[in-house]
Structure 1
Amino acid sequence: MKKTFLDKKKFRSGGSRRLMALPVLLCLAVLTGCGQKIENKYDVNVGLMRMNSVNTSLTETDHAKGFSVGLALPGETTFNADDISAEAALMVEFGKEDPQAVAYKNPYVRTYPASITKVMSALVCMRHIQDFQQEFTVTENSKISVSGSSMAWLRPGETLTIEDLLYGMLLPSGNDAAVAVAEATCGSVEAFVEEMNRTALEIGATGTHFVNPHGLPDDRHYTTPYDIYLTMNEAMKYEEFRKIVSTVNYSPHYKDSNGMPKTQSWSVTNRFMIGETPVPQGLEVLGGKTGTTNAAGYCLTMGVRKTSTGEEYISTVMKAESKDELYRNMTSMISKTY
């Protein structure tokens, strides 16, 4: 299976493509692919030091040039978000050379990402896989026994394309599909998680640490709203990601364990996209990812576009107390584009 960081067909939407070098990356081995161990593994104190240095040094004219280029840097607490009841939220311009944070509340607070984890899983897969029509046979490792786990209802021995697995992971939020994506990309879940953490550090998401590809609860599995923005900011540059997360319904056609044709139907979990929550007038939802666990609360990150100007934004709401509150908060956030 071919795996490479280079020669990808990516969606480009203006602005600087790459971060400047981060000091924290000096401790890493050269990025060579799945399974390459990080010499010094993630240290939460390093992340906190970086966040504190950014937060305390910001002024109206200081954009922390030593940290990044082409990224927004919100302040530390709350701006234009007094109506947000969720624990944390952040909305940032996407695709601009000097993007600005439109609104935010506690953008650097540690949160549990739940299934928003799968945005990073998709990003890692897309950075490594050239041909999404390659087939992969689901293994026993995709059996998830956790009660209430979201599933794509894949069975060991079934053979699907990697693209189908990405749809199964991102639309119905299949934890089984996430394991299959990990194994198809890096050969094992362990190697894939190493690559998730490496990628997080590379894009500057130093407040993040992963232990699995799907987001099932673990005290060592966490992120921040700002790091979710950094991850979405990278993922939305890939045409394949945008295509998948903008899809409402998808029916994969694949082979069961006996080689016989099989199909099923998957639907996206985003209420805006299935018509259960109205999208504010003048806006188009580009897609994203939901996440829900007891520890994480109700979460959503997604891209939106202003239909009048084509301007795009990444908006994230974390740890709302209910699904209704999540969508009320997100409606309020994306309405601030006017």
Structure 2
Amino acid sequence: MAFFTACGSSKDLPDAYEVYEKGDDTEMSMQIEQPDFFAKGLCVGGTENVTGEYIPDDIASALVFLPDEEKIEYAENIYDKVYPASTTKILTAYLALKYGNLDDPITVSSTAASVPAESSVCGFKAGDQITLYDALSGLMLMSGNDAANVIAEYVSGSNSDFCVLMNQEARLLGATHSHFVNPHGYPADDHYTTAYDLYLIFQAALKDDTFRQLMAEKEMDVSYQNAAGETVNAKWESTNHYYTGEAEIPSGFEILGGKTGSSNSSGFCLVLYSKDQENRPVISIIMRSASKEILYQQMSRLLSVYG
């Protein structure tokens, strides 16, 4: 039996859940009122797939939702367990924006600057003087695992305490089939989600103007001070191939942003926000495609057929 509480944060956090686990089942006793969006504003479907003339090959799950109309255009295995990789950072950004102040100064710790092998990074070093906005920018554009660590320590004091908060907040959003053990999505057996849970988290994050602004940035010039007081200048570029020109945007669509993710266990993933030729917002997700090139081909086809 394991008990978790949210602790170590410098911000006001929601009341803790009382959690207990038995095998693969987790039950939670919640002491907070359910948010308004449980009653309205969500695309809610049954357990059956909703497909049509085009079904992408060799993926784990996919969806195309029209959120303003609360309409499901495509849904394939959206409640199946998947590994999120860096799409995890949507939740990390959501929590930073919910509990943080963008102008707050942060000193990068040696722990935050230390990331697993083959991580995507911003290149932060111990002692760097940045702001929360800098960390969020690096998180969303460069998909920096070091930026995720910085945010976790800023919000909760440590990665472990931040992960408690991630799991609490995910459940508040209705994402009850997810479990997070780090703030960046580096592969771990006990770090998982579903396409539908990612949709719930993404839709919540989209309510924040700064989140929408950062996910829409194609590139950004940044500067900050290192431990020696010297200025570090860098250019950060989006990992979204629709923005880099490596993938063709579907006819009639405007890409408004999103979040990529990839690892050996997750395959290639994309959570995307766009507008169709009727100016309707579209949320689309593909999890575990076979390659980056195929991922964007599949996403473009999904949008063209169902968006």
Q: TM bucket by the smaller chain?
A: 0.7 to 0.9
The aligned counterpart of 2:294 is 325
CA shift, 1:283, in A, is 0.6
Q: 1:83 aligns with which of 31, 44, 55?
A: 55
Contact kept in structure 2, 1:34 and 1:191, CA below 8 Å = no
SS at 1:171 equivalent: helix
Query: What whole-Å deviation, never above 9, does each CA across 1:93-113 have from its counterpart, x for those lacking one?
Result: 12x2x5011111101000000
The aligned counterpart of 2:218 is 248
Q: 1:236 aligns with which of 206, 211, 216?
A: 206
Query: What whole-Å deviation, never above 9, does each CA across 1:214-238 have from its counterpart, x for those lacking one?
Result: 0001111000000000011001110
Distance 1:28 1:182, change over 3 A: closer
How many residues matched? 289
Q: Give runs of aligned pairs for residues 65-214 of structure 1, distance below 5 A.
A: 68-80=39-51, 82-85=54-57, 86-94=59-67, 96=68, 98-129=69-100, 131-214=101-184
Query: What whole-Å deviation, never above 9, does each CA across 1:236-275 have from its counterpart, x for those lacking one?
Result: 1100000000001112111101122111111110101111
CA shift, 1:305, in A, is 0.9
CA distance in 2: counterparts of 1:220 and 1:38, whole angstroms: 19
CA shift, 1:77, in A, is 4.1
Whether 2:303 is the aligned partner of 1:334: answer yes
Deviating 4+ runs (over 4 angstroms): 34-37, 41-44
CA RMSD of aligned residues (A): 2.3
TM-score (norm 1): 0.80
Contact kept in structure 1, 2:74 and 2:306, CA below 8 Å = no
CA shift, 1:168, in A, is 0.6
Query: What whole-Å deviation, never above 9, does each CA across 1:126-176 have from its counterpart, x for those lacking one?
Result: 1112x3011101001123342211111100100111011001111111000
CA shift, 1:83, in A, is 2.4
Task: Tell me the amino acid that sits aligned with residue 25 of structure 2.
Answer: N
In percent, how many aligned pairs have the same letter?
33
The aligned counterpart of 2:255 is 285
CA distance in 1: counterparts of 2:42 and 2:129, whole angstroms: 39
CA distance in 1: counterparts of 2:149 and 2:116, whole angstroms: 14
CA distance in 1: counterparts of 2:288 and 2:148, whole angstroms: 22
TM-score (norm 2): 0.88
Task: Tell me the amino acid that sits aligned with residue 241 of structure 2.
Answer: R
CA distance in 2: counterparts of 1:28 and 1:142, whole angstroms: 22
Distance 1:282 1:226, change over 3 A: same
Task: Tell me the amino acid that sits aligned with residue 256 of structure 1.
Answer: N
Whether 2:229 is the aligned partner of 1:259: answer yes
Between Structure 1 and Structure 2, the one with more strand by share is: 2
Unaligned segments of structure 1, at least 5 residues = 1-26, 48-65
CA distance in 1: counterparts of 2:215 and 2:21, whole angstroms: 29
